[in-house]
Amino acid sequence: MWKRDESVRPPAGRDAMGVQPPVPQAGVPGAAAQGADIEGRRHMETRDVVNIGKSVVIKGELNGSEDLTVEGHVEGRIELKDHVLTIGPHGRIKAEIHAKSVIILGEVTGNILASEKVDIRDNGSVDGDIVAPRVAIAEGAHFRGSVDMQRKSAPTPPASKVEAKPAAPPAAPGQPAKAGA
Amino acid sequence: MTGFLSRFGQRRGADHDGVPEAAGAQDTVVGTKALRKFIQYLKSRPTPVLLDLGPVVGSNISFFGEQIGCKIFVEDLFADIDRHEREGRLSELPAFLRTRFPQPPGSVDGVLCWNLFDFLDRPSAQAAAEQLSRVLAVNGALFGFFGMTRPSEVPLTKFIVVDDANLRHRPYSSPRMRQAVLQNRDITRLFEPLRVSDSFLLKNNVREILFRKPDYMNSR
């Protein structure tokens, strides 16, 4: 089994701690970019995540341009268009959520719109409708509502709306004019 | 060597994300014949709307959402039955079921009933069948199965789609056990005016039935 470690190590960026920073290799196209990407991710993980603690209660609209973890209570609306929202195990949300990705370990009552992914983890709970290209629901999670996965149009959210409507030609009489405009 | 070892590392991560969930200790994989037809029907719809009456299963959501392109409503009726049973309020279940479905009439293309009707008494079954018939669109399909053997210690079960010909059955603890056996005639009467489109008696004595809402019915 000791050989397993050695064989797994080479994709070093995956091991978060104790591994030397990835060195761009000459002659390997994209290696430098990949290294920068990993470095960027590491920065995100260590710096640009804000926490809302257990005792915090927010009523109203929450906007932001960095990743956010909520352990407290939020009522109203949360908007993190290009970032990840994590509802911690103690988080209680009664809000409409717009984010890039949403990870739920606590409770959410309200609709969720994510441009990338919604992930309801074990013991996470959602009562509301989800619109996202990818949805993962763990065993033990609670969910009641609807799931709309906007088929085959994940990469460009604005285009997805335009594409989705012409797909049902008889049902959307007003759409062609709008798309053409 | 790396390839060999990597087989061990990937399994758990995969089951959380679209691939059928990993098998549990009591799981059994059982063939299905009607599911394929049900899926074929959904695929023929431009933007199918699916109503799933079972407990939420992540990989089923991915299967029907990503691969078939459905919009899915999850209404876990098994949890409702379970709750009524635990609270000793089963007599209120028929009235509860009459107001349970918020979907407008004729708005759903497919209903995944699973074996729900095995766990309902007659008045509750009648109430649920009426409501499902109401929300189903004209030509819409309802997929359900019914135990043909005597009621026994059959617990509530999660059904996990492995592919269009196989379902993984995963029992879970609940005080509610299977109720009376419904004969074919009882089943067709229960779901009137829906029409039986396909019916299969499987080797495990389960009858799979695919109902369709006939053309002549406008949404009621």
> Is the per-residue pLDDT at A168 higher than 80?
no
Separation of alpha carbons B215 and B220, rounded Å:
12
Q: What is the largest CA-CA distance in chain A?
A: 64
Separation of alpha carbons B174 and B154, rounded Å:
10
pLDDT digits 0-9 by tens, A61-96: 999 999 999 999 999 999 998 999 999 999 999 999
Separation of alpha carbons A135 and A5, rounded Å:
32
Contact predicate A108/A120, CB 8 Å? no
pLDDT digits 0-9 by tens, A37-49: 555 455 455 556 7
Separation of alpha carbons B133 and B168, rounded Å:
27
In chain A, residues with a C-beta closer than 8 Å to the C-beta of B13 are none
Q: What per-residue string of b and e applies to B114-152 under the rule 16 or more CB within 10 Å gives b?
A: bbbbbbbeeebbbbbbbbbbbbbbeebbbbbbbbeeeee
**Which residue reads 């009439």 in tokens?**
B105
Q: Of the candidates B58, B71, B76, which has its C-beta nearest A146's C-beta?
A: B71
Separation of alpha carbons B77 and B90, rounded Å:
13
Number of residue pairs across A and B with CB atoms under 8 Å? 69
Please compute the mean of the pLDDT values over residues B141-161 and round it to a whole number: 83
Asked if A4 has any chain B CB less than 8 Å from its own CB, the reply is yes
Asked if A149 has any chain B CB less than 8 Å from its own CB, the reply is yes
Q: Of the candidates B21, B69, B73, which has its C-beta nearest A146's C-beta?
A: B73
**Residues within 8 A of B (CB atoms), A 61-120 only:** 120
Asked if A139 has any chain B CB less than 8 Å from its own CB, the reply is yes
Asked if B102 has any chain A CB less than 8 Å from its own CB, the reply is no
Separation of alpha carbons A155 and A170, rounded Å:
26
pLDDT digits 0-9 by tens, A117-163: 999 999 999 999 999 999 999 988 999 999 999 755 444 443 333 33
- In terms of average pLDDT, the best of B144-158, B167-181, B187-201 is B187-201
> Is the per-residue pLDDT at A15 higher than 80?
no
| Whole-number pLDDT of residue B205 | 85
Confidence band of A103 (pLDDT split at 50, 70, 90): very high
**Which residue reads 């407990």 in tokens?**
B55
Asked if B66 has any chain A CB less than 8 Å from its own CB, the reply is yes
In chain A, residues with a C-beta closer than 8 Å to the C-beta of B21 are 139
Asked if A12 has any chain B CB less than 8 Å from its own CB, the reply is no
Least Cα separation, residue A119 to chain B (angstroms): 9
Whether A151 sits inside 8 A of B69 (CB atoms) is yes
Contact predicate B112/B54, CB 8 Å? yes
**Which residue reads 């909520």 in tokens?**
A70
pLDDT digits 0-9 by tens, B60-87: 999 999 999 999 999 999 989 989 988 9
Confidence band of A32 (pLDDT split at 50, 70, 90): very low
Domain boundaries, chain B: 24-212
Element (H, E) at B162: strand B157-163
Of B210 and A171, which is predicted with more confidence?
B210
E-state strands within chain A: 49-52, 57-63, 67-70, 73-87, 92-104, 107-109, 112-120, 125-127, 130-131, 134-137, 142-148
Q: Which of A116, A126, A120 is nearest to A138 (CA)?
A: A120
| φ, ψ dihedrals at A140, nearest 5° | 100, -10
Comparing A28-37, A171-180, B147-156, which segment has the lowest mean pLDDT?
A171-180
Q: Could you tell me which residues are beta bridge partners of residue A92?
A: A73, A107
Separation of alpha carbons A168 and B6, rounded Å:
43
Whether A134 sits inside 8 A of B21 (CB atoms) is no
Asked if A142 has any chain B CB less than 8 Å from its own CB, the reply is yes
Q: Which of B220, B168, B161, B174 is nearest to B193 (CA)?
A: B220
CATH architecture of B24-212: 3-Layer(aba) Sandwich (3.40)
Count of other CB atoms within 10 angstroms of residue B94 = 18
pLDDT digits 0-9 by tens, B90-110: 899 999 999 999 999 999 999
| Whole-number pLDDT of residue B38 | 96
Q: Which residues contact A170 (CB under 8 A, 6 or more apart)?
A: none
Torsion of CA A120, A124, A130, A132, to 10 degrees: -20
Q: Of the candidates A7, A149, A168, which has its C-beta nearest B65's C-beta?
A: A149
Confidence band of A106 (pLDDT split at 50, 70, 90): very high
